[in-house]
Structure 1
Amino acid sequence: MVLPTSHIFLYLITISISWAGDWGRLELHSNHIPYVLGHHQDLASACASDDQCPYKIVDQCWGYEDGCKGNASFSKNDEPINCASDHHKRDFWFRADFGFIGNIRKEMEAIRICTADVENDSSLICARNAKFCHARNLYIDFRSHTPDRDRFKEDMFEKGMIGGYCKFDESLLKEQGSHPYPLQSWYSELQNYTKLDFQISNDNGRCDVFIDKPSILMKLDSGVNIYHHFCDFFNLYLTQHVNNSWFGKDVQIIMWDTSSLGYFDIVEDAWNAFTDHPVLNLKGFTGKRVCFKEAIFSLLPRMRGGLFYNSYIPKGCVGSSMFRAFSEHFLHRMGVRQDQSTFLPGAKIRLTILQRGSPDNDHVFRQIKNQDELVAVAKEFDEFEVKVVQYNWRTVSFVEQLNITHNSDIFIGMHGAGLLHFLFLPDWAVAFELYNCGDTGCYYDLARLRGLNYITWGDGKIEAFDRGKHHRYGDNPKFWNWSFEPDEFRRLLVRARDALVAKKRDYRTLKIGTNKHDEL
């Protein structure tokens, strides 16, 4: 029997759904439930037949499904805005919104490298250039692997050490080797995939370890840089979409790291949004033959044409429904909620200034030399509630950081990884990159993707300090410290306030009193 196309994605389909009235276990943002149920008919049917299911079944879809259009889609055609042309808007949809998912899923329909004849056979399908792959009944032999200092060893497997029992198209696999770089493709790991002469099962004596949970294999970017690390988490979320997931957390995440080195993770709690189980490291399989019932080779953080590091974002466009969905999903899973008192009449505008290090720390650059002066300017505005924070992972938990960020209306900080928090601002917020240090696109694009108003310092009215102080990068403005003219900062605050009020009014009326700066 040849398996139908619907069996390509097994993550949801192979799960027997029995909620026994405990629908809260979905742990989904309330805005997302109609789309998850609309996308997954098995889940919707289970809900419809359960009197205790509190959700109404409606015909909604994320946007990448065939026939998903208009008001039925998550974006409802309201995103993006401000595109330079209809061409740019369409380009944005496929590069930076749910059309990106649709393209990958279509690629996988054609790249079936290993196909099953019967249900217990193996399979391997991939997106172009092996940027994502899905395997069933996968065999990997780690007995000859010795971890060293190479995190992504490219010649790890010989023929017969990785593979499955299936109809194998070796030439199709070889065609996927155009981008054999560690954080762009899985080709190096899969290039010696072999047709084996035995089926993969838990009782065949060939597997020292058999993992029957869906397993997501990930090659991670830097765990000490929150911006780069969240390229991992964002692509994990996209991986779940590509793989037809309903975002259940009974999955095993495995860090694909072929080295003996440690991996320092400053936002380790973030994994709780995706799995109920500890993240495993590949070195734990050394010396063993490991079999996977289902293995997902996740989308990678630095793919060509991927998201969101160094991504091309079409001209003018603001607001990706996919980035908004990620933000809502992640914050919900982390237990972060909006303080509803912000919508009460007379509520203050919550202005947060992110401080880079302490003034006496000579190893931290891009510090604001006259920060106290700028804080005093902000406090002149009666409608502002000003908070200065330092997101030090040693003293402020990541969840606490998220709560502060998500309950900020204007978020101000110097160029740096901490501005990753733009992703978790509320929809109406203003992202204020005080100075971009010549890197004009990075956080401007991130704010655009998130659908935020963005402000930054222009030319002039700024003074550089400590040029040449850094022993290696002393000529780079990112390794200087800066002072800012208070009057120009005041003008930009008025601009930020006005942009905030105009947008937040769409959510609830925010009362702003007149003050002496209105004329600026």
Structure 2
Amino acid sequence: NVSTSYHVRPRCPGDHRGWVKSKEAQYSTFYTQADFGYVKEQIDELMVMCEASYPQDTSLECSKYLRFCRGRNMMLNFTGLVGRGDNLRYKMDILGPGQIGGYCNFYSERLMKEAEHMSALQSWAPEFRYFVRTPKRPIADGMCDVTIEKPTYIMKLDATVNMYHHFCDFFNLYTSLHVNSTHPSTFSRDNHILIWETFTYHSAFKDAFKAFTKNEIWDLKKFRGKTICFKNVVFPLLPRMIFGLYYNTPLIYGCERSGLFHAFSKHLLHSMNIKPHIRRNGKIRITLLSRGTQYRSILNEKEIVEALLK
């Protein structure tokens, strides 16, 4: 029941006419587009791409268009990164044929059917198009140089210098925790995060990662030239998916107050132990971003500044 599932409920004060047939449909649409209904949709879409027969076998599940995937006992071969430098970002050829895979019943046609969104930040298709069934079990048969025991989240980041764009990453990582919520330790911070690039991660907003992991942030340089096995690995929802959430979000008119966004906010505050700050000074500080570019400029910027200085 949507009305009792959490304490923050959407509101739809705007008119539904011209958009959907009823007020109830307006609520339902918003819940699916921008609330926990979106999480449910991703879970409902999950399909098995690589089926394990025994516990030591590989398994792989993905949602539609390979926007979210999770796997067990999986092999990734990073030997192809040798000699490619430290400026790999938004590349769709980090892996090559046969450099990702595992021992399982592999449904290759099913996977390739979902590989339509072939773009770096829209899906994991650029990586999983090269998935193969390996002749041996990656971990049990010693195929890898290193085996990662802890759960690992592999992330392709948007622009980390921009708060809006980088929080697309954090929000979709948080949403992915719910999509992957198959264990009581879902929100444990004892895991690893691997950034899918060779740049060393730097950002003014890096502290937000403390809400998700207590360990150092890895990048691909750490594993260059090696074959790595992951016991549990998640490929989270991406920041620029077609009809994704937060960026490129098509929202129905007239609604507000997403419980999912509210939960994301509370998760950050709780995980980072941020306490409410009581204001002692009534002065309001305003920062105005003045752009020297052709687009996104404030047309009446001069008038605004003059009014603020009065």
**Range into which the TM-score falls when normalised by the shorter chain:** 0.7 to 0.9
Contact preservation (8 Å) 1:216, 1:297: yes
| Counterpart pick for 2:234 among 296, 309, 315 | 296
Within 5 Å, give how 1:364-403 maps onto structure 2.
365=290
- Paired positions, count: 298
Larger radius of gyration: 1
Task: Indicate the SS of the match to 1:216.
Answer: strand
1:222 CA drift (Å) = 0.9
2:150 is matched with 213
* CA root-mean-square deviation: 2.6
Q: 1:350 to 1:134 in 2, by over 3 A?
A: farther
1:249 matched to 2:182: no
TM-score by length of 1: 0.54
Alpha-carbon distance in 2 for matches of 1:122, 1:196: 9
1:125 is matched with 61
1:79 matched to 2:15: no
Alpha-carbon distance in 1 for matches of 2:243, 2:296: 27
Q: Which has the higher contact order (CA 8 A, sep 6+)?
A: 2
Task: Indicate the SS of the match to 1:295.
Answer: strand
Within 5 Å, give how 1:87-486 maps onto structure 2.
87-108=25-46, 111-146=47-82, 147-148=84-85, 149-201=87-139, 204-244=141-181, 246-257=186-197, 259=198, 261-339=199-277, 352-356=284-288, 365=290, 470=292, 473-474=293-294, 477-478=297-298, 481-484=301-304
Alpha-carbon distance in 1 for matches of 2:193, 2:58: 21
Alpha-carbon distance in 2 for matches of 1:250, 1:150: 27
Contact preservation (8 Å) 1:474, 1:480: no
1:410 is matched with none
Percent of pairs with identical residues: 34
Q: 1:117 to 1:484 in 2, by over 3 A?
A: same
TM-score by length of 2: 0.88
1:189 CA drift (Å) = 0.6
Amino acid in structure 2 at the alignment position of 1:314: I
Amino acid in structure 2 at the alignment position of 1:235: N
- Could you list the runs of 5+ residues in structure 2 that have no partner in the other structure? 17-22
- Could you list the runs of 5+ residues in structure 1 that have no partner in the other structure? 1-67, 343-347, 357-363, 367-469, 491-520
Alpha-carbon distance in 2 for matches of 1:321, 1:477: 33
Contact preservation (8 Å) 1:139, 1:289: yes
Amino acid in structure 2 at the alignment position of 1:116: A
Alpha-carbon distance in 2 for matches of 1:91, 1:218: 29
Per-residue CA deviation, residues 276-321 of structure 1 (Å, 9 max, x unaligned), is 1001001211100100001100110111111212312211101001
Q: 1:476 to 1:227 in 2, by over 3 A?
A: closer
Alpha-carbon distance in 1 for matches of 2:128, 2:299: 40
Amino acid in structure 1 at the alignment position of 2:123: S
1:168 CA drift (Å) = 0.4
Alpha-carbon distance in 2 for matches of 1:156, 1:485: 47
1:80 CA drift (Å) = 2.7
Per-residue CA deviation, residues 453-508 of structure 1 (Å, 9 max, x unaligned), is xxxxxxxxxxxxxxxxx3xx346524884323988999xxxxxxxxxxxxxxxxxx
Contact preservation (8 Å) 1:83, 1:318: no
